[in-house]
Each structure stands twice: as C-alpha cells, then as structure tokens.
Amino acid sequence: MADGAAAPRDETGTDMTKRLDRWADPPLLVLASLADEAKHGYAITQDVAETMGVRLSAGTLYAVIARLEAQGLIEPLDAVDRRRPYRITMAGAEVLAQQSARMAKVASLAQARLSLRFGPTGA
C-alpha cells in the first residue's frame, strides 16, 4: 500500500490508524493473526502466542474483538459448536497494511541507526 494513501476513517470521521495507535498492540496482533485465515478466539490466542510470543487473556482478546468488530475491521462468521470464527475485512486489511508499513519503516530506521552507532552486532 502506498504511503500517501488516505487513511481509512470510521463513522465519526476519525483516522482509524491513529485510533488503533491509542490502544497499541493487542488489536494489531489480532489483525495480524487473522490476516491469513479466519480463526476463533482460542485459535487466535494460540496463534498469537506461538508466532508473536504474546499471551492474550480472554478479557483482553474479547475487548479487542469487540472494538475491531465495532469499527468494521473484522467480521464474525457463523459459530460452530459455540466457537465463532472471525475474519479480517478489507478495511482491517488496509489498517493492518498501513500499520505494518509504518512499523517496518521504524524498525529499519532503528536497525540502521543502531548499526551506525554500535556496528552490525549492535542492531
């Protein structure tokens, strides 16, 4: 996604990227977990724990799911045996792509500056 692209906005006109920043990592982790396929709550916690090393508690996970769903960044699918999968929406994919690009930019900048100051091993 191009850097200059307009940020998606919610129903109140607020820039969703900025709003997402305010409550930091867990929403991004959930969006990242749902980026490849739909998952239910337990599968999300397992995926986030295994791939990103973060354990999301039930309270945190469903607070995030409720917010992401309210903002239209994820959507629920039909429940199977009490477990309801969620999948990322196009708006959610856009937000995730924008955030990932920003994080990648920050990460590469940090790596480069650390390398300049401390050498390749310092980064």
Point out which residues bind other proteins (CB under 8 A): 37-43, 45-47, 57-63, 65-67, 69-70, 79, 81-85
Q: Is 28 in contact with 96 (CB distance < 8 Å)?
A: yes
- Which residue, 9 or 84, is less far from other proteins as judged by CB? 84
Q: In angstroms, what is the C-alpha Rg of the chain?
A: 16
- Residue 38 CB, shortest distance to other proteins, in Å, is 7
- Which residue, 43 or 101, is less far from other proteins as judged by CB? 43
- Residue 34 CB, shortest distance to other proteins, in Å, is 11
- Which residue, 57 or 108, is less far from other proteins as judged by CB? 57
List of E strands, the chain:
74-76, 86-88
Going by C-beta distance under 8 Å and a sequence separation of 6 or more, which residues neighbour residue 100?
32
- Residue 9 CB, shortest distance to other proteins, in Å, is 15
Cα gap 40→35, rounded to integer Å: 13
- Which residue, 23 or 118, is less far from other proteins as judged by CB? 23
> In 25-89, which residue ranges form alpha helices assigned H by DSSP?
25-34, 41-47, 58-70
- Residue 72 CB, shortest distance to other proteins, in Å, is 9
